Amino acid sequence: MLLLVMTAQAANSQVQARLEPSSVAEGERVLLILEAQGLHSRAQPDLSPLAADFDVVGTRVGQQTQIINGRRTDSTQWQISLLPKRLGVIEIAALQVGDQRTAPLRLEVTAAAADAHSGPGDPLWVELSLDQPADLPLWVHQQIPLVLRIYSALPLRGGQLSDPRAENGVLERPVEDRTFRAERDGRSYQVIERRYLLQPERSGVLRVSPAHFEGELPADAARSQSPSTHPRWQAPLLDSLLAAPGRRVRAQSEAVTLEIEPRPAAFTGTHWLPAQTLDIDDSWETPPQLEIGEPATRTLTITAKGLMASQIPPLDIPLPADARAYSEPMRTDNLTDGVNVHGVSKQSVTLIPTQGGTMTLPEIRVPWWDTVTQQQRVTRVPARTLTVTGVAASSPTPDATNSDSEPATAPVAAAPGDHSHNWQWLIIIAVGLGLLYHQRQRWLPMLTKPTLPALLTPSALTTARHAVRESCERHDTQGASQALLLWARQRWSESPPTHLSALAERLGLCDQAALAQAVRTLEQALYAPQASDWNGDELWSLFASERLKTPRHPSATLEQSELAPLYPGSNF
């Protein structure tokens, strides 16, 4: 009997689908109804094929069981509220429910009628517009500002706003919504403002679909409105899905059509960069006074108003032949001033001179397109010529007492009374004494106390910590940055971090995640396009209580001493 019942249920299993209605205007919702009977009523439908053409607004599920003449029938109904994403005929592919598939469906989406749009004077209306002069050309990949405003003359208990969509473009929201009151056509409105940045992906005509708002009036306000007087306040088709006290109201804006220009032929740059401003800051972790064998880090920061950081290409930084160079990965960030996005990219390169004399860093040029003046501009980092001091390491001088030395290498004795070569000997003696002094200063501390680096002294660390505290108390970003790097050079004298990002990474390795994040926050404030209200209290609080842990390393051994807990010998 059980097998007969299961066989009968399987024979009656089926899944049906239908649309209500089969044709809607843009901005209206459509109801997709799926009904499954028999064993398939326990399955869940796969709605992923709908994502390309619809937003799934809501889903309701109902189940029913009937027993007629001892025969049981199970059925499940899914009511899925959909909002179409585009105009035209949309083909809905077959949907999978268990091991059954529905029949394909077709939906027609037409443009909204002209009288469907609300406007000034209505109790509720929505406005979508371009937030810049209409006579300026719009370029592909440019950030185009749009503003959406919802005007309500009556109190709303809440609502939902469907964002507009752009064909062949990307819409992003740079800031949070804001509310204010405004007067329009002699009527006072509560206004909700939402800003967007549109980035067209190709040239040609670009259509931004209308934005739709659905809200709810309180019951008393709903009774005071006559549907015959305000036809736009009539309940929409799917009010049964959103049933609640009061009346559902809706309004929509008009669509916005834009003409997007291709990259102009007059632009000669390699990378297309349409921006309002583009600046390059050339900074050094140490003053640009170079010494042979000593590293110096150069950081180039691009700040582009009107570009995302992902649009900024890596700089082509020419490197001198008389230095070793080590580049770091480019770091990017997006900042906002409340209206525009400022893309920021930072590239750092460490130079280690190998020869004395002068080192020339060539000019760097970045062409970009000014979307305000509609012309090509070039931001330049001028060439710099730096002086490199110090003496390069040389091979040992041959022993003068060696009897096998070649006669040509022996010094020539000066004739009596001839002092023309004395100054050369003085230079050679001075250079030799300098090398001896340099080597003595380098190796003597390691010979006297090998467990502690030469610069790692309590007095130097204390001085650096005082500098950090004073800068944090003054909320001085530049001073705090310099003081932290000074402290880092004392704390890790053999391999000090040369910039704030490297310091934050080093602190993270020492299990100081909170302090590392505070250092990154300082770096963001330091390189912000405008003055930042940075507060140094949190950084100093974390810094004052830091206890850096030393990562384990097989080769890191340290003899016990009274300074070991404060100044571990490992590079970390």
What's the gap between Cα 393 and its chain centre? 45
What's the pLDDT score for residue 392? 63
Place of tokens 């041959």: 398
Are 75 and 123 in the same domain?
Answer: no
Pairing of strands 105-110, 23-25: parallel
Per the structure, the complete domain to which residue 244 belongs is given by 114-261
**CA dist., res. 72 & res. 66, Å (int):** 6
Note whether residue 434 is domain-resident: no
Note whether residue 399 is domain-resident: no
What's the pLDDT score for residue 497? 85
Are 66 and 195 in the same domain?
Answer: no
What's the pLDDT score for residue 186? 82
Note whether residue 356 is domain-resident: yes
**CA dist., res. 406 & res. 408, Å (int):** 5
**CA–CA distance from 537 to each of 201, 260, 470 (Å)?**
44, 48, 11
Question: Phi, psi (5° rounding) for residue 54?
Answer: -140, 155
What's the pLDDT score for residue 434? 66
pTM: 0.54
33-37, 179-183, 400-404: least confident range:
400-404
241-245, 331-335, 461-465: least confident range:
241-245
Q: Quick one: which of 381, 380, 379, 329 has its CA closest to 350?
A: 329
Are 126 and 230 in the same domain?
Answer: yes
Are 96 and 133 in the same domain?
Answer: no
What's the pLDDT score for residue 156? 82
Which residues, other chains included, contact 444 with Cβ-Cβ below 8 Å and sequence gap of 6+? none
Are 131 and 241 in the same domain?
Answer: yes
Are 48 and 170 in the same domain?
Answer: no
Domain count for the chain, please give it. 4
Among 45, 75, 110, the domain boundary falls at 110
pLDDT grade for 301, boundaries at 50, 70 and 90: very high
Are 118 and 246 in the same domain?
Answer: yes
Name the residue type at position 275: A
**CA dist., res. 424 & res. 150, Å (int):** 85
Asked whether the predicted pLDDT for residue 396 surpasses 50, the reply is: no
Contact 286, 261 (CB under 8 A): no
Taking only the tens place, the pLDDT of each residue in 471-513 is: 888 888 888 888 898 888 888 877 888 888 888 888 888 888 8
CATH number of the domain that residue 55 is part of: 2.60.40
78-89 burial string, b = 16+ CB within 10 Å, else e?
A: bbbbbbbbebee
Asked whether the predicted pLDDT for residue 234 surpasses 80, the reply is: no
Among 110, 132, 162, the domain boundary falls at 110
Asked whether the predicted pLDDT for residue 290 surpasses 50, the reply is: yes
What's the pLDDT score for residue 431? 67
User: Of residues 139 and 547, which shows the higher confidence score?
Assistant: 139
Asked whether the predicted pLDDT for residue 357 surpasses 80, the reply is: yes
Are 225 and 302 in the same domain?
Answer: no
Pairing of strands 138-139, 256-261: parallel
Q: Prior bond to 529 cis, omega within 30?
A: no
Place of tokens 């607004």: 57
Contact 196, 248 (CB under 8 A): no
Place of tokens 């230095």: 323
What's the pLDDT score for residue 114? 58
Are 121 and 237 in the same domain?
Answer: yes
Taking only the tens place, the pLDDT of each residue in 423-478 is: 566 667 766 776 665 555 544 444 443 333 333 444 567 777 878 888 888 888 88
Q: DSSP code of 554? A: T
Are 293 and 346 in the same domain?
Answer: yes
Note whether residue 378 is domain-resident: yes
Which residues, listed in sequence order, are joined to residue 92 by a DSSP beta bridge?
105
Name the residue type at position 548: L
Contact 309, 364 (CB under 8 A): no
Q: Quick one: which of 398, 396, 365 has its CA closest to 380?
A: 365
